[in-house]
């Protein structure tokens, strides 16, 4: 349909101001789009630093760590009081739908790091170095770590491996980048471990775990994740160290705990496999599905959008618009 020039020259019709409100108690602001930024939450919490984490360790106060893969998950983890927000390579599976962590690339990790970095204001941020970005030699690992800091906005990095990674950890820490080591079950090496299997169950395995822990500590790691290790073994290893350990499936004898946010919030469909150590603290999937199904139902029945969710129009402007439309020539059918 085309409008005659005379119609186009008429004064603009005013159909009301579009506004956006965070809550009824807050002042509305002009908003000319249905899309708006998430915003940030004002917090009085001090910025968590390496020294903050060391102080918690000295006081024997458990350190809380949670993964995040984007702005919303980073935002909620930070405002909920996590000391550390970890951009884990588990995002390959929970955020990108990949089969395992080995598929995610450095550039993909950096994209997620930048998103999380925009959200986190207080917590200490750490990112996983993805498989292939650090194993070849310490120099390549340092280059990757620098990218995580400069391009991803992270404050530290995490890498998997024990004593064999000591030279790499030393190289990165000597450049002033904090390193969180990861021993026990190392998912990037699942194929050489025979799958996702509990580590440190035998005497030989427990000794290796302790040897790895001491080696990465000596190399400069400021913190060590211990994954899928019997609680008693992890506790003994923790007591032998002078840096904090973060357990995941390794009991509460560690200096702190970490879980994957999607797992602990229950943001997954029924039937999905969960490791034994995951406790779910919510039902995000169920709540989201119930909300979406309710929305679908109201759209189908035309109950949504009701008057309260629509914009008003000045009656004179509406009458003028209707007069213009009525005066327009009818479209000819082909």
All structural domains of the chain, each given as residue ranges with its CATH number in brackets, are 50-264 (3.20.20.60)
Say if residues 11 and 4 touch (Cβ distance below 8 Å).
Answer: no
Give 221: exposed, middle or buried? Use CB within 10 Å, 0-12, 13-18, 19+.
buried
**Alpha-carbon Rg of the chain, whole angstroms?**
27
- Rounded-to-integer distance, Cα 154 and Cα 110, Å: 9
In this structure, what token pair is assigned to residue 37?
A: 């930024």
What pLDDT, on a 0 to 100 scale, did the predictor assign at position 258? 98
| Dist CA 178 CA 180 (whole Å) | 7
Sign of CA dihedral 92, 252, 177, 122: positive
From the list 114, 24, 20, the residue with the least C-alpha distance to 74 is 114
pLDDT at position 7, please? 40
pLDDT in tens, 204-254: 999 999 999 999 999 999 999 999 999 999 999 999 999 999 999 999 999
For residues 161 and 131, give the distance between their C-alpha atoms in angstroms, rounded to a whole number.
11
pLDDT at position 187 is 85
State the pTM of this model. 0.87
Residues that are catalytic:
227
Closest to 180 in 3D by CA, of 241, 227, 130, 126: 126
CA dihedral 193, 198, 204, 207 (to 10 degrees): 110
pLDDT tens across the length of the chain (334 residues)? 444 434 444 445 444 444 444 444 444 455 555 556 676 566 789 999 999 999 999 999 999 999 999 999 999 999 999 999 999 999 999 999 999 999 999 999 999 999 999 999 999 999 999 999 999 999 999 999 999 999 999 999 999 999 999 999 999 999 999 999 999 999 887 655 555 589 999 999 999 999 999 999 999 999 999 999 999 999 999 999 999 999 999 999 999 999 999 999 999 999 999 999 999 999 999 999 999 999 999 999 999 999 999 999 999 999 999 999 999 998 766 6
């Amino acid at each position: 349909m085309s409008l005659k020039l005379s119609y186009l020259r008429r004064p603009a019709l005013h159909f009301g101001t579009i506004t956006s409100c965070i809550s009824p108690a807050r002042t509305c602001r002009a908003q000319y789009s249905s899309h708006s930024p998430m915003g940030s939450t004002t917090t009085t919490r001090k910025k968590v630093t390496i020294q903050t984490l060391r102080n918690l360790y000295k006081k024997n106060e458990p350190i809380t760590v949670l993964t995040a893969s984007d702005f919303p998950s980073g935002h909620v983890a930070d405002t909920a009081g996590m000391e550390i927000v970890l951009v884990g390579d588990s995002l390959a599976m929970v955020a990108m739908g990949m089969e395992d962590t080995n598929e995610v690339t450095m550039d993909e990790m950096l994209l997620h790091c930048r998103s999380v970095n925009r959200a986190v204001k207080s917590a200490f941020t750490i990112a996983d170095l993805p498989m292939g970005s650090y194993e070849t030699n310490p120099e390549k690992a340092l280059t990757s770590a620098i990218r995580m800091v400069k391009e991803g906005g992270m404050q530290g990095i995490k890498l998997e491996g024990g004593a064999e990674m000591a030279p790499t950890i030393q190289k990165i820490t000597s450049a002033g980048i904090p390193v969180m080591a990861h021993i026990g079950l190392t998912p990037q090496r699942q194929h050489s471990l025979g799958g996702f299997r509990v580590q440190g169950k035998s005497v030989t395995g427990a000794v290796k775990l302790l040897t790895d822990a001491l080696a990465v500590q000596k190399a400069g790691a400021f913190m060590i994740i211990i994954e899928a290790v019997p609680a008693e073994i992890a506790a003994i290893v923790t007591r032998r160290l002078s840096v904090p350990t973060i357990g995941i499936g390794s009991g509460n004898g560690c200096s702190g705990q970490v879980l994957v946010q999607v797992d602990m919030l229950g943001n997954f469909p029924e039937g999905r496999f969960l490791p034994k150590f995951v406790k779910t603290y919510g039902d995000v999937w169920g709540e989201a599905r119930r909300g979406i199904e309710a929305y679908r139902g109201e759209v189908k029945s035309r109950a949504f959008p009701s008057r309260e969710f629509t914009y008003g129009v000045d009656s004179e402007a509406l009458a003028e618009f209707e007069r213009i439309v009525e005066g327009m020539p009818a479209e000819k059918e082909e």
